[in-house]
Structure 1
């Protein structure tokens, strides 16, 4: 078995065992797990290979792209603005972003936009690489777009466009660029997470690998695609060609430094597991002297806004959404009804649980589609904290 390093507090041994089992049959996988309870670190583990090209091992502070876990972190920033009285989830988004009124999107509320109900889940135009790397250019594309369905009347997962929605919400309501707001939040609890990876971090970042189940899923979807119709689910991931369907290749997509260094708030954060767990912990408990959100704010921002079947057909079970936060559901099982967070492509999972005051993060560079790794770890944690 892959050697696992780090520490596990008394009583959490089964969580550590579940993490070690995640490496079984995956000799080139790397990953890390961090868990806090009441702000205290109870699990801090890592192991495996950070870069299979040269065998570089995963270290205690190896950062990696966390994909859509980024959405959860952006949603914390939006929630902090709600707490500060600077953002109203029921207010039309166009009130703070006038360009968003284009093509009848004036009825979209801030909460709708965060809950995947804005109607702009994929771009109608083919996005270029240069546009992908330009936050302002992408925000304008989203603002200018004619919606794909009547906004507010249904939902579809805004796989990448969600980030330019949340990023503009944070920028306009908070008066701070999203990358800077993200950096300040991460630094408040010890650092180790970035939206726009600094160049000096590139050498230590994990190299991502696409596993066989993800490869097979993408190949099957391509084979089943009707060339006579637009596949909006595919465009949501690729933006019409700016990214590969798997989000990474051996040296491109989110393995490319220019992509990781760009501000892509829907999927582009680079973080250590320890940093993610600390941020999520601080939403539900004082963590290293910091509390990011109060309980009464959580009651507002974690209220269910989206559930059920999406606009574009996808097999059940379906996720549930609050104001950007992914809630506990059959599609993504967390600890229970008071859990909120976000998973990410390939197996990343990060969340908090209010009842047990838990902050959790599992990250890996080995990306799979059919992936029980984090679920088994969460199940083990549930057996401990209830």
Structure 2
């Protein structure tokens, strides 16, 4: 069914559009309820089951001033949702036998074997135990936008603890490290590899940075919440590991940075992926469907099984959150990132509330994307409400 309706929510008119299988009407209800009871400005959600899109909704506003409707082709930065997409793409290399997760990173990147990093394995980068969660070299403010400068600093840096022993969320650096392995193996930059081997074959709309001026016109403005979030902690706790993770950001309000041309165009494969909810849901739908979507196979079922095998369940040191960690993706960890009732669900949330996830048992791909970023440490009530509605339809009680 097609929908194009206007609702009244919190004193404003909100236009809701899209399509849905009538069976999934409760998902539409949950999507609309977010506008009535939560801090929603604009958002989109998509559900793929057994390779078929059964929900594709978008609504609200692209900007905090409520002057531009969220359109079908609106893209938004989903923050660390990018880690899951990047991790899936990296597993394509593993699937092709071009990278061995049990090999030292230095096999592919010889200069990496400096200052005690000879024992860092590829899997340590994929599961956040490489000991390189921050860049310690004093770089300039704004160096976050220079991927090559970050890579050069990490190449020389010593790990903060013995590799493979301690989890610390590599908040920005995971993408830099994986990206350099990709470049050494394929000759391609990470964002180009993701586009060529994952996004384009599926006909999707998602990219790591690299936005054009045309993309600027359809991009949703991010509206971050600062008080009570990591953005506030990085300033109030300047000696913390978290603060060190933001040392290369520009010296300006985070809302300015996240909406800057630099953020839109740089290669920050752990954080600045822009796209539509339907594209993220389709990627997870393919993996949850045995690695295929339509006539396109992304990777083998054995590689998927390996990717979804738990590597550890530690309380990581960056934000002191427990994570069931897979090989490049997170596994369902209700206290930190709730992905429904199935413990086999996997994916990655993004700071502020966006999420992409899959469920191999239900053959489900799901995504929720928003521009108003919340102040919660988990993926929050907006995504949860919609995920609960999805599982309610599928017959599993959330």
Same fold judged by TM-score > 0.5?
yes
Q: Is the 8 A contact 1:280 1:352 kept in 2?
A: yes
Aligned to 2:223: 209
Q: Select the residue among 170, 175, 184 that pairs with 1:158.
A: 170
Greater CA deviation, 58-67 or 134-143? Answer: 134-143
**Cα distance in 1 for residues equivalent to 2:115 and 2:278:** 43
Q: Equivalents in 1 of 2:16, 2:265: separation in Å?
A: 29
Does residue 253 (structure 1) correspond to residue 257 (structure 2)? The answer is: yes
1:20 aligns to 2:32 (yes or no) = yes
* Structure 2 spans left out of the alignment, 5+ residues: 1-8
Task: Tell me how far apart the structure 2 counterparts of residues 183 and 174 of structure 1 sit (CA, whole Å).
Answer: 13
**Residue in structure 1 matched with residue 244 of structure 2 by the alignment:** 235
Distance in 1 between the 2:63 and 2:214 partners?
Answer: 17
331-340 vs 146-155, which deviates more?
331-340
Distance of 2:227 and 2:270 partners within structure 1: 22
Alpha-carbon deviation of 1:48? 0.5
Among 302, 309, 312, which residue is 1:303 paired with? 309
CA distance in 1, matches of 2:216, 2:259: 10
User: Structure 2 CA distance, aligned partners of 1:130 and 1:235?
Assistant: 14
CA positional deviation for 1:135: 1.9
2:103 to 77, 85, 91: 91
**Structure 2 match to 1:194:** 207
- Assess if the C-alpha contact under 8 Å between 1:199 and 1:261 holds in 2: no
Say whether the 8 Å CA contact 2:81–2:348 is kept in structure 1. Answer: yes
1:327 pairs with 2:339? no
Match of 2:282 in 1: 278
- Corresponding position of 1:289: 295
- Residues 223 and 59 (structure 1), Cα distance of their counterparts in 2 relative to 1, 3 Å cut: closer
Aligned to 2:42: 30
- For structure 1, which runs of at least 5 residues remain unmatched after alignment? none
Alignment partner of 1:210: what SS? coil
Change (3 A) 1:223 1:122: closer
1:136-147 to structure 2, matched below 5 A, reads 136-147=148-159
**SS in structure 1 of the partner of residue 36 of structure 2:** coil
Query: Alpha carbons of 1:216 and 1:362: their partners in 2 closer, same or farther (altered >3 Å)?
Result: same
Equivalent of 1:52 in 61, 64, 72: 64
* Residue in structure 1 matched with residue 4 of structure 2 by the alignment: none
Deviation at 1:54, TM superposition (A): 5.9
CA–CA separation in structure 1 for the residues paired with 2:15 and 2:66? 18
Q: Contact conserved, 1:325 with 1:342, CA < 8 A, in 2?
A: yes
1:379 alignment partner, one of 380, 388, 396? 388
Is 1:108 matched with 2:112? Answer: no
Q: Distance in 1 between matches of 2:215 and 2:62?
A: 13
TM-score by length of 1: 0.91
Q: Which residue of 2 aligns with 1:123?
A: 135
- Rounded Cα–Cα distance in structure 1 between residues aligned with 2:67 and 2:88: 35
Separation in 2 of the partners of 1:186 and 1:350?
A: 15
User: Post-superposition shift, 1:121?
Assistant: 0.5
Q: Post-superposition shift, 1:3?
A: 3.4
For 2:282 and 2:230, the matched residues in 1 are separated by 33
Q: Partner of 2:3 in structure 1?
A: none
* Aligned-partner Cα distance in 1 for 2:388–2:264: 31
